[in-house]
Amino acid sequence: MESIGVVVNPIAGMGGRVGLKGTDDTLEEAKRRGAEARAPDRAREALESLSRRLPGLTVYAAAGVMGAAAALEAGYEPEVVYDPASAGAGADGEDDSADGNRREDHGRTDATDPTQAETTAADTRRTVRAFLECGVDLILFVGGDGTAVDVASTLEQVGEDVPILGVPAGVKIYSSVFAVTPRAVGRTVAEFDRVEPREVNDIDEAAYREGEVRTRLEAIATVPIAPTVQSSKQLSSGSVDALASGFAREVDPDRTYVFGPGGTVGAIESALGIDPSPLGVDVWRDGELLVRDASESDVLGALEEPVTIVVSPIGGQGFVFGRGNHQISPAVIDRADEIEIVATEEKLDGLETLRTDTDDESIDDDLRGWTRVRTGRFTTRLIELV
């Protein structure tokens, strides 16, 4: 491994904690709600993990918050191969209205304020083309499924088979081309010696916000083979009636319950007489739904101790925090004295471990270890959370 290309979607994941379930077409609303950029920090963390293992790596990057700023912070001296600020609209025949890091106008890549960066999906694709001209050995991108589509589809269009690896920064991650955490990037890039084709999937975010998951296969990409690369999300629906009724019967009316997204947790809410937000976060106490489809600030404002967080791992991946439930932030987790993880035996059979990726290493460390998962009316199972 001699060189990599680094491209960052600076607005990826901003909609998560403010309850928008994504940032596609909702950037201004996310900023209005006080959303903060997370992708640049995750890019820096990933590149720091890489610089500790491969300090002499040649790094090519897009300008400012699209890659170069994070590379500089990580100790590299990146070569900037593309700058959106100097690119004309429609350059290289690209259409700025395509999916990905969306905006109508090109402009700033101000490293001091990622939320003001005006970049487009076309900028990502042009950056990838510039990487290919430099002959990079791997493309490292930071974002979510939309960014993965931009990178992989560009490679397919030009007929190139350069390996790619994603740093997860989006709200939902359905593709199997991402490292499990930013810190896993260094080990993955430094140690892999084989690659394999992986799926790049995306969903309709408008339907997702209405509680419906519509996934579609967008591309096939070459990805390093490593245990630190996450699997694609499996969409399965086993019977959870026994689990839900057993949990509902044991709720404590003096506790505040924070219910995460997903069908398993939603079944528990239904058993309690709650109309759940299928892909959102709800807060409930003693028969009263305090907040439905809450943002992080909504959750924090409704909490009254003691607090129980109820979550279910993502099938095929095992994440209990950090994927699809960013509203349950480190600040929320810190307020809880009890975390209940629920899943059917069928779902757990497909998982070797559970995972957490909250953006707060101290919180993640506290969560790690062997944990008990409720699997039925009376049954539980131990599984390691890493």
pLDDT at position 11 is: 81
User: Considering its fold, how many domains does the chain have in total?
Assistant: 2
Question: Is the pTM above the cut of 0.75?
Answer: no
d(CA 332, CA 334): 5
Query: Phi-psi region for residue 362, left (φ > 0), alpha (ψ -120 to 50) or beta?
Result: alpha
| CATH code, domain with 94 | 3.40.50
Check whether residue 50 and residue 85 sit in a common domain.
yes
Domain stop point among 189, 224, 259: 224
d(CA 251, CA 180): 33
Whole-number Cα distances in Å, 329 to 109, 192, 279, 281, 294: 27, 32, 16, 11, 12
The Cβ of residue 358 has, within 10 Å, a number of other Cβ atoms equal to 22
Domain around 67? 3-224
Report the relative pairing of strands 282-285 and 288-291 from DSSP bridges.
antiparallel
**Phi, psi torsion values for 47, nearest 5 degrees:** -70, -30
Whole-number Cα distances in Å, 222 to 47, 62, 151: 20, 22, 11
d(CA 163, CA 154): 13
Check whether residue 146 and residue 246 sit in a common domain.
no
**Cα dihedral value 237, 238, 242, 245, nearest 10:** -10
Residue 125 lies in a domain: yes
Residue 220 lies in a domain: yes
Check whether residue 113 and residue 206 sit in a common domain.
yes
Query: Phi-psi region for residue 295, left (φ > 0), alpha (ψ -120 to 50) or beta?
Result: beta
pLDDT at position 102 is: 36
Check whether residue 311 and residue 211 sit in a common domain.
no
Domain stop point among 224, 255, 278: 224
Helices and strands (DSSP H and E) totals, the chain: 13, 16
Residue 229 lies in a domain: no
Residue 155 lies in a domain: yes
pLDDT at position 98 is: 43
Residue 295 lies in a domain: yes
Domain stop point among 193, 224, 255: 224
Residue 311 lies in a domain: yes
Q: Does the N-terminal peptide bond of residue 40 adopt cis geometry, omega within 30 degrees of 0?
A: no
pLDDT at position 88 is: 55
Check whether residue 75 and residue 172 sit in a common domain.
yes
Check whether residue 255 and residue 220 sit in a common domain.
no
Check whether residue 249 and residue 378 sit in a common domain.
yes
Per-residue pLDDT of the chain (386 residues; tens, 9 = 90+): 899 999 999 887 664 454 444 555 554 554 555 546 678 899 999 999 999 999 999 999 999 999 999 999 999 999 999 998 886 544 455 554 444 443 333 334 454 555 555 678 899 999 999 999 999 999 999 998 989 999 999 999 999 999 999 999 876 678 889 999 999 999 999 999 999 998 888 876 565 556 665 667 888 899 999 989 987 655 444 458 888 988 998 999 999 999 999 999 999 999 999 999 978 999 999 999 999 999 999 999 999 999 999 999 998 899 999 998 999 999 999 999 999 999 988 888 889 899 999 999 999 999 999 999 998 877 888 899 99
The Cβ of residue 249 has, within 10 Å, a number of other Cβ atoms equal to 10
d(CA 252, CA 271): 14
Check whether residue 137 and residue 261 sit in a common domain.
no
d(CA 152, CA 28): 27
Whole-number Cα distances in Å, 168 to 58, 97, 114, 193, 256: 22, 23, 17, 22, 30
Check whether residue 213 and residue 334 sit in a common domain.
no
Check whether residue 354 and residue 259 sit in a common domain.
yes
Contact 66, 8 (CB under 8 A): yes
pLDDT at position 205 is: 58
pLDDT at position 382 is: 87
Residue 59 lies in a domain: yes
Check whether residue 144 and residue 110 sit in a common domain.
yes
Check whether residue 43 and residue 157 sit in a common domain.
yes
Contact 201, 213 (CB under 8 A): no
Residue 230 lies in a domain: no
pLDDT at position 174 is: 81
